[in-house]
Amino acid sequence: MELETYMHDLGRRARAASRWLAKADAATKNRALNLTADAIEHAGARLIEANARDVAAARLAKLDAAAIDRLTLTEKTVAAMADGLRQIASLPDPVGAISELKERPTGIKVGRMRVPLGVIAIIYESRPNVTADAAGLCLKSGNACILRGGSESIHSNQAIAVCVHEGLRGAGLPEDAVQVVNTTDRAAVGILLHMNDSVDILVPRGGKSLIERVMNESRIPMIKHLDGICHVYIDDAADEAKAIRIADNAKTQRLGTCNTMETLLVARPVAATILPKLASVYKSKGIELRGDDAARKIVPDMKAATEEDWRTEYLDAILAVRVVDGLDQAIEHIATYGSQHTDAIVTENTAHAQRFLREVDSSSVMVNASTRFADGYEYGLGAEIGISTDKLHARGPVGLEGLTSLKWVVFGDGQIRT
């Protein structure tokens, strides 16, 4: 019950702060961001000390090395946090601009104004730098936020929150604009998921089990990313050198990211020449291949792929390979097994490229480029709160604009409807 009261109080405060933030001008918000960056730099040693308590607890709890690595703050990551905030300060303010203003036959002028969403709750896992990033993005877009980090990073997150509050205070903005949930009680998440009155948008960031929990429990609209089963399709009209470079990079540049290729589709006419070359590239990088019958006829030491492989996001050194008849079957495969995240075609045939772009229903569709480019920074958004695989509102990398919406504004001179 005490926890209920605490959480709903956070919600009430966030709602009140959101109204202040929505009307804050760009200079004030940027001042808060830059002051927060300064505070993080000044607090460097204190942040690393707080983080050390989290890391020690994580070691005791026997978290794996990768998780401890993600959790650990260093002088370098602290500096990167501060830089990130200054970069967000340097981005244009998305809020308040009126676009598409048109006069109607009745004499009213109708346009759209970009406005914040209100209160954003972000639920995330171990990386403590998300606390600074998410706070910065929400602040710049004029939204109040409630941040619920992983319990393993509670001390780091609280220490970062102190810096954010210093920045907000310094700019004359309410500290409640950024609130970090101050308890590791897992029931707090359950309460947050039902705070429909005080939370406008949920952003779950983390593994599939977290996302699925949020989807199952909450009816608050959310910006989320479920699966990244990304494809590269090598067309019969592909340039071989580009195909090999892209298929290599899309799989091996980083194995564990959501925009990493998980299934390679190769057009039958070029499979016999390209697949052996690619297989030797993958072999040299320790990638296990799982192919369909046609692919295994060309590269015999591949394992056999099952139906399950086409549906799997490995996030690992495994790649599914299928030989398809051509463009139609590639599009069909992606429609059947894909996750609407990111898919690429390699081709020199413009008509094929156009059809792939138009017909593949994914948040990012690419021609002759690596799926690894699906990223807010690479797209020029300056920063990203996540990658959405939903279709409503923002699709793909979500930056400041995705944290805003357009409302209608009408200017009249006494007009009435007849």
Contact (CB, 8 A) for 338 and 312: no
Contacts of 264 (CB under 8 A, 6+ apart): 231, 232, 234, 247, 251, 278, 319, 320, 321, 322
Kindly state the smallest distance separating residue 103's Cβ from a second copy, in Å. Answer: 10
Kindly state the smallest distance separating residue 282's Cβ from a second copy, in Å. Answer: 15
The two structure tokens encoding residue 151: 């319990």
Q: Which of residues 76-105 bind a second copy (CB under 8 A)?
A: 96, 102, 104
The neighbour count for residue 322, using CB atoms within 10 Å, is: 24
The H-assigned helical ranges of 61-109 are: 65-71, 75-90
Contact (CB, 8 A) for 200 and 117: yes
Q: What sign does the dihedral 26-10-132-316 (CA atoms) show?
A: negative
How many CA within 13 A on the CB side of residue 42?
11
> CB-wise, 270 or 366, nearer to a second copy?
366
Instruction: Of 212, 172, 171, give the one whose Cα is nearest residue 38.
Output: 171
> CB-wise, 254 or 268, nearer to a second copy?
254
Contact (CB, 8 A) for 398 and 385: yes
Q: Does 67 participate in binding a second copy (rule CB under 8 A)?
A: no
Which residue has 């706070």 as its token pair? 135
Q: Does 229 participate in binding a second copy (rule CB under 8 A)?
A: no
Taking CB under 8 A as the binding criterion, the range among 153-161, 285-293, 316-324, 361-369 that sits at the site for a second copy is: 361-369
Kindly state the smallest distance separating residue 301's Cβ from a second copy, in Å. Answer: 26
Q: Does 132 participate in binding a second copy (rule CB under 8 A)?
A: no
Question: How do beta strands 303-304 and 261-267 pair?
Answer: unpaired
> CB-wise, 114 or 148, nearer to a second copy?
114
Q: Does 368 participate in binding a second copy (rule CB under 8 A)?
A: yes
CA distance linking residue 397 with residue 374, whole number of Å? 7
Kindly state the smallest distance separating residue 229's Cβ from a second copy, in Å. Answer: 16
Contacts of 301 (CB under 8 A, 6+ apart): 279
CA distance linking residue 271 with residue 277, whole number of Å? 10
Residue from 149, 291, 397, 399 in contact with a second copy (CB under 8 A): 397
The two structure tokens encoding residue 11: 């919600």
The neighbour count for residue 185, using CB atoms within 10 Å, is: 15
Residue from 253, 272, 319, 386 in contact with a second copy (CB under 8 A): 253
Q: Which of residues 306-325 bind a second copy (CB under 8 A)?
A: none
CA distance linking residue 39 with residue 167, whole number of Å? 7
Kindly state the smallest distance separating residue 334's Cβ from a second copy, in Å. Answer: 11
Q: Which of residues 199-218 bind a second copy (CB under 8 A)?
A: 200-201, 215
Residue from 137, 282, 372, 385 in contact with a second copy (CB under 8 A): 372
Residue from 369, 383, 385, 400 in contact with a second copy (CB under 8 A): 369
Kindly state the smallest distance separating residue 161's Cβ from a second copy, in Å. Answer: 26
> CB-wise, 72 or 252, nearer to a second copy?
252
CA distance linking residue 54 with residue 152, whole number of Å? 6
> CB-wise, 217 or 293, nearer to a second copy?
217
Contact (CB, 8 A) for 367 and 357: yes
Kindly state the smallest distance separating residue 409's Cβ from a second copy, in Å. Answer: 5
Burial 79-98 (b: 16+ CB within 10 A, else e): ebbbebbbebbebebbbeee
Q: Does 393 participate in binding a second copy (rule CB under 8 A)?
A: yes
Residue from 51, 131, 153, 249 in contact with a second copy (CB under 8 A): 249
Residue from 8, 22, 195, 325 in contact with a second copy (CB under 8 A): 22
Number of residues that bind a second copy (CB under 8 A): 70
Can you give the binding site for a second copy, defined by CB under 8 A? Answer: 19, 22-23, 96, 102, 104, 106, 108, 110, 113, 115, 117-118, 200-201, 215, 219, 221, 239, 241-242, 245-246, 248-250, 253, 335, 344, 355, 357-359, 361-370, 372-374, 378-380, 390-393, 395-397, 405-418
